[in-house]
Chains A and B, each alone.
Chain A
Amino acid sequence: MLKPGTSSVVAASNTGDSLRRRPRLGERFIESWIFLAGLFAIIILVGIIAVLIKEGLPIFTYSSPWQFLFGTKWYPTSEPPTFGILPFFVGTLMITLIATVAAVPIGVGCAAYLAEVAPPRIRETVKPIIELLAGIPSVMMGFIGLMLLSPLVKSIFHLNTGLCGLTAAIMLSLMSLPIIVSVSEDALHAVPKEFKEASYALGATKWETIRHVCIPAALSGIGAAIMLGVGRAIGETMTVLMVAGGALAVPLSPTDPMTTMTAAIASGIGNAARGGLQYQALFAIGLILFVMTLAVNLIAERVLERQKRKFAR
């Protein structure tokens, strides 16, 4: 199979019987290779979950799950240490929610413009530029947030400091925009021409076609785009670490300084002694973060499934 030249010579000189067998052998090789690749990915994933559980769960013998999840005091290095992650949990939820609410309408709108309204030349120049935005390192985004956005947020909202959840959320929405635009544009672009033509033939306007035909037909792709965007927002660490303020109090408003779960892990793990209480607590945060993203994915899948069925009717 690797040398098409020789294989064709062999195939030509042999009987039809071997002609049938050869592709099967190659196919079996490819099948087992794909199987191994899939197995490898699953093993690594299961391994990561196992490590999270092994390193993270022991903290619950020191501090009960209730205390850990709903405790408001995080003093890992004091004597005795207290581990309450409610401030980080609320911070992550708040920042992710605001970033998503800001990025999704703009992202999907931009994708609809590029896919349906913009002339091809604009689409071909704008889309690569937007995709380029996704490649900006998060530390650069953090730097931009620190130098440019945080003074702006401070003066607009008359805050004590611009290092707050809102600044982080705005930066995160900018960072998830390219993903949302690019993936949903692909999905919209893949909607069969016949759908749109039928819609126009029925007298629908461009807006009606986008709103009632293109977006519903591309919904699973747009849903995937939004999930990828949310995933980026939940998991982003560096930018949030730099601009969210890093306060340990439970944030009551988006304009409060706050710490997210990822930022708490990043700032604590460097000096947490291996196997110590703080180390276990940080792994437990990682475990909870993992459960959260899993839940978001499952819920999104459910919702999308329902939407698709509705559209099918």
Chain B
Amino acid sequence: MAANSNVSISVSGPGTGPGIAALIDGTTDIAQASRPITQTETAQAEANGVHPYEIHVANDGLSVVVNPSNNVSELTTAQLSAIYTCNIANWRDVGGKDAPVVVLSRDTSSGSHDFFLQRVVQMQGLPTQNTTLQYGPEVLFLSSTEAGITEVAQNPDAIFYAGLAYVTNQTKTVALKKTASDPAILPSKETVLDGTYYLARPLFFYTNGEPTGVIKDFIDYCLSPAGQEKVSEVGYIPLA
């Protein structure tokens, strides 16, 4: 900031969807995304004369969190899917105490919402894949990740998912098993980088065409050792 004091940056954070929509409408220079751009979005952008350019800046392990008092510490993808489609409504059914599950999710503007829908709810890429599955009617859709973390910290029966940077010690992260026969793995730098953590995902910047000028300077900084140091500092996983 000190080196480029004549540049003003404004950041707004409603979610991946609005960010990419703003890039398509030409109202932002850089859109951050926690999922890759979709084909529909690329087509809309091209129709508007915008050429989305993808930059992989960091990695994340989407973490499934519960209240620290919850005695469930590992879940399979199929169990999570059943919880989020409201087919499992009691913690007892996944080895916990006899209490209803309060299922929290982000709303549709979030990239995590889409990522979790595809990878967990619909179990894409697994033998049990079913792309007709949707979030169940009892799921609470929250407008911010912070609201979900706050609720999980207060509510012994709640479950939520969040990027690593949002996870605090007020919540407990659940280890995930890809299928019942796979080992239970917690998100960490190693498990995200080697891909053994099932919900490891890349985080992107999108710009209109290859970045130039001050935008390029910013991107270069983010990819530099100092920028990657910052990535770890806020809680995400650097590129390598």
Contacts and interface: CB of A to CB of B under 8 A. Distances in A.
Interface residues of B, number: 34
Chain A interface secondary structure, helix, strand, loop or mixed?
A: loop
A271 B108 contact: yes
A161 B99 CA distance: 12
Contact of B139 (A76, A248, A273): A248
B18 interface: yes
Interface string B151-186: 100110110000000000000000000000000000
B15 interface: yes
B140 A270 contact: no
Interface stretch (A56-64, A106-114, A238-246, A300-308): A238-246
Interface stretch (A146-154, A188-196, A220-228): A146-154
B17 interface: yes
Contacts, number: 83
Nearest to A257: B140
A78 B17 contact: no
B18 A270 contact: yes
A231 interface: no
Interface string A195-209: 000000000000000
A77 interface: yes
A95 interface: no
A111 to B, nearest CB: 34
Interface string B139-157: 1111110010011001101
B140 A163 contact: yes
A18 interface: no
Contact of A270 (B21, B100, B144, B151): B21
A271 B137 contact: no
A267 B108 CA distance: 7
A120 to B, nearest CB: 44
A78 B113 CA distance: 13
A271 B21 contact: yes
Contacts of B154: 150-151, 154, 162
Contacts of A235: none
Interface string B28-50: 00000000000011001000000
Contacts of A75: 134
A32 interface: no
Contacts of B44: 273
B109 interface: yes
Interface of B: 14-18, 20-21, 25, 40-41, 44, 100, 102, 107-109, 114, 134-135, 137-144, 147, 150-151, 154-155, 157-158
Interface of A: 75-78, 146-147, 150-151, 154, 160-163, 241-242, 245-249, 257, 259, 263, 266-268, 270-274
Given A247-B138, A274-B25, 5 more contacts: A77-B114, A247-B140, A263-B143, A268-B107, A270-B14
